[in-house]
Amino acid sequence: MATLTKNASVENEVKKFIKRLSERNPNETEFIQAVEEVVESILPFIKNHKKYSDPFILDRLCEPERVIMFNIPWLDDKGNYRLNRGYRVQMNSAIGPYKGGLRFHPSVNLSILKFLAFEQVFKNSLTTLPLGGAKGGADFDPKGKTDNEIMKFCQSYMTEMYRYIGADVDIPAGDIGVNEKEIGYMFGQYKRLKTQFNGVITGKGLSFGGSPLRPEATGYGTVYFAREMLKKQGEKLDGKTAVISGAGNVALFAAEKLIEHNVKVLAVSDSGGFMFIKDGLMQDVLEKLMEFKFEKRGRLKKFAEEHNYDFYNGEKPWAVKCDMAFPCATQNEIYGEEAQKLVDNGCKLVSEGANMPSTKEAIDVFKKNKILYGPGKAANAGGVAISGLEMVQNSNHRPWTREEVNEELRNIMRDIHDECTEYGNDGNGFVDYVKGANIAGFIKVADAMIAQGLV
């Protein structure tokens, strides 16, 4: 195990811990990256708090409670047999049943899902809701697939997964490549196999148990978090400029909330490149873009051509001059040099809609330049928070209104911001939100693990 050693300096201890973790989990670069960021923040805290000094707490936090891997056979429209690999990583259930999204993307592998599940443990703890951490998905690419193929794939995925999940056991949701449509197909198959209609999966359509505002929650929440960071500095969103990466669920709802706050959104992107909108994205164009992306899974380049916007093939939007950046696409999309470019161009705030979009080098640049930097596990926790409220609505058999949910979302994002401030404040008015989020998330999970003994 990657057990901590006594009497070593914190820096050495982090290095040793990560070395042993890497040996135990070879080639899992994303997982190691996510753990390193957390361990760097919480080891100094652990050293000063005897209660948490049992090294096995950290070891167990880094070891999934269960990993499920399975094959997913399905038939394409031409009658060919197809095969994908499916996963569910049940990371930690100390504070509640496992909860976390499903990602369908060709890049999906065990390392990526373990990093996402690990992050989810801390994120779910920050929401203050009783949710453990998990993540799952498959190396399936929904792009270019017909509706019929997507339905068959989702049904085959659930034909294996249904054994390991349940409304009080493990409650999946969406992530990259998994939106309301895929959730609907998976929920339908679960219901058929189990003959149970319950809150086993969140992100459902409104007509069968979904929560108002769940599709919007992550993007809106990321903007609410940015607003809190600005408010603490006596500043506002209004009148600022922003650049967003991604053009999916998180990105486009972040854009919508920013526009509502009079922010000029100068760019959005997809894996083909970024679209530059000199005068700022307007709500009517955004609505067309949502339809184009959500209904047709269209390419941004085509949309830019059709609407006469500049499109930068294969480029990321980080060289666009802006006040704020919202990375909302995927992991490791801002490298050190790109972070430096953002800073040099006057960017003062980064709020992460995506999970781990900034590399370690990028985070170092943000910290060194005292950028208001909201890490994903805090800034994008709005999605899972509203998923948690969807579970409450399902078990009470009473849906809430959009206004009730929005109010809760705003409150939860404010509370997460305050938790980060409590543990990340350096005493001179600067908040290290990474440190704050990691420590605040850790305490609740560690307390529950200690109370439950060695299980």
Residues marked active site are found at 135
Structure tokens belonging to residue 19: 């070395």
* The one segment of 183-191, 301-309, 326-334, 366-374 that binds ligand NDP by CB under 6 A: 326-334
Element at 74 (helix H, strand E): strand 66-75
Q: Give the nearer residue to ligand NDP in terms of CB position, either 353 or 441.
A: 353
CA distance 326 to 264: 13
CA distance 125 to 194: 30
DSSP notation for 29-51: HHHHHHHHHHHHHHHHHHHT-GG
Q: Give the nearer residue to ligand NDP in terms of CB position, either 32 or 254.
A: 254
Q: Which of 383, 388, 424, 436 binds ligand NDP (CB under 6 A)?
A: 383
| Displacement of CA 141 from its chain's centroid (Å) | 19
Shortest distance in whole angstroms from residue 323 CB to ligand NDP: 22
Of 161, 173, 163, 164, nearest to 199 (Cα)? 173
Position with the least CB separation from ligand NDP: 248
Shortest distance in whole angstroms from residue 269 CB to ligand NDP: 6
Element at 234 (helix H, strand E): none
Q: Which of 92, 355, 359, 393 binds ligand NDP (CB under 6 A)?
A: 355
The three-point CA angle 290-231-211 to 5° equals 40
- Indicate whether 249 belongs to the interface with ligand NDP (CB under 6 A): yes
CA distance 298 to 14: 44
* The one segment of 82-90, 190-198, 231-239, 269-277 that binds ligand NDP by CB under 6 A: 269-277
> Within positions 205 to 244, which residues make up the interface with ligand NDP, using CB under 6 A?
218
Shortest distance in whole angstroms from residue 178 CB to ligand NDP: 7
Shortest distance in whole angstroms from residue 59 CB to ligand NDP: 26
Q: Which of 64, 212, 248, 273 binds ligand NDP (CB under 6 A)?
A: 248
- Indicate whether 380 belongs to the interface with ligand NDP (CB under 6 A): yes
- Indicate whether 246 belongs to the interface with ligand NDP (CB under 6 A): yes
* The one segment of 46-54, 258-266, 352-360, 409-417 that binds ligand NDP by CB under 6 A: 352-360
CA distances from 114 to 4, 35, 100, 108, 374 (A): 21, 10, 11, 10, 21
Using DSSP bridges, classify how beta strands 133-138 and 98-104 pair: parallel, antiparallel or unpaired.
parallel
Structure tokens belonging to residue 24: 């135990």
Bridge partner list, 51? none
CA distance 200 to 416: 26
Structure tokens belonging to residue 305: 């051509």
Q: Which of 158, 200, 247, 416 binds ligand NDP (CB under 6 A)?
A: 247
Q: Give the nearer residue to ligand NDP in terms of CB position, either 103 or 264.
A: 103
400: helix, coil or strand?
A: coil
Structure tokens belonging to residue 211: 């929560």
Shortest distance in whole angstroms from residue 347 CB to ligand NDP: 19
- Indicate whether 136 belongs to the interface with ligand NDP (CB under 6 A): no
Task: Answer whether 336's CB lies under 8 Å from 397's CB.
Answer: no
- Indicate whether 117 belongs to the interface with ligand NDP (CB under 6 A): no
x/- site string to ligand NDP, residues 423 to 452, per CB under 6 A?
Answer: ------------------------------
* The one segment of 3-11, 276-284, 347-355, 412-420 that binds ligand NDP by CB under 6 A: 347-355
* The one segment of 67-75, 169-177, 273-281, 303-311 that binds ligand NDP by CB under 6 A: 169-177
Shortest distance in whole angstroms from residue 257 CB to ligand NDP: 14
CB atoms near residue 422 (< 10 Å): 12
Q: Which of 42, 89, 150, 354 binds ligand NDP (CB under 6 A)?
A: 354
Q: Which of 151, 329, 342, 449 binds ligand NDP (CB under 6 A)?
A: 329
Structure tokens belonging to residue 229: 């960071």
CA distance 285 to 65: 45
**Residue type present at position 42:** I
Shortest distance in whole angstroms from residue 102 CB to ligand NDP: 10
Q: Which of 86, 97, 132, 177 binds ligand NDP (CB under 6 A)?
A: 177
Show the 3-state SS of 304-320. Answer: HHHCCCEEEECCCHHHC
Site residues (CB under 6 A) for ligand NDP? 174-177, 218, 246-251, 270-272, 328-330, 353-355, 380, 383
